Homo-oligomer: A and B are copies of this chain.
Amino acid sequence: MNHVTVIGTGITKFGTMADKSLKQLLLEASFEALKEAGFPTVDAVFIGNFMSGPLANQEILGSLIAHDLGLGPIPTAKMEGACASGGIAFRHACEMIEAGVYNTVLVAGGEKMKQADTNVVTSAINAAMDTDSNEKMAGLSFPGFFGLVANRYFYETEASKKHLAMVALKNREYAVQNSIAQYRDPVALEEILAARMITEPLGLFDCSPITDGAAAVILSRGQSGIRVIASSQASGPTQAQEVEDLLTIGAIKKSAELAYEQAGLGPDDIDVIELHDCFSMTEILAYEALGLAARSEGWKLLENGDTKHGGKIPVNTSGGLLSRGHPIGATGIAQIYQVVQQLRGTACNQVDGARIGLAQNLGGTGSYSTVHIFSNGR
Contact = CB atoms under 8 A, between A and B. Distances in A.
Interface of A: 21, 23-24, 50-54, 56-60, 62-64, 66-67, 73-82, 88, 91-92, 95-96, 98-101, 123-124, 126-132, 233-238, 242, 250-251, 254, 363-364, 367-368
B81 A80 contact: no
A235 B67 contact: yes
Given A63-B81, A80-B78, A56 B233 contact: no
Contact of A81 (B77, B88, B254): B77
Contact of A131 (B56, B79, B128): B56
Nearest to A239: B67
Contacts of A131: 21, 23, 56-58
Contacts of A67: 235-238, 242, 367
Contacts of A235: 62-63, 66-67, 73-76
A92 B78 CA distance: 12
Chain B CB within 10 Å — which of A59, A73, A242, A363 has the most? Answer: A59
A233 B75 contact: yes
Contact of A124 (B57, B66, B127, B254): B57
B81 A60 contact: yes
Given A75-B233, A77-B80, A235-B73, A128 B251 contact: no
Contacts of A98: 99
Nearest to A24: B132
Contacts of A77: 79-81, 88, 92
Nearest to A79: B77
A234 B368 contact: no
Nearest to A91: B75
B238 A64 contact: yes
Contact of A59 (B76, B80, B88): B80
A19 B211 CA distance: 37
A250 B73 CA distance: 8
Contact of A236 (B59, B73, B127): B73
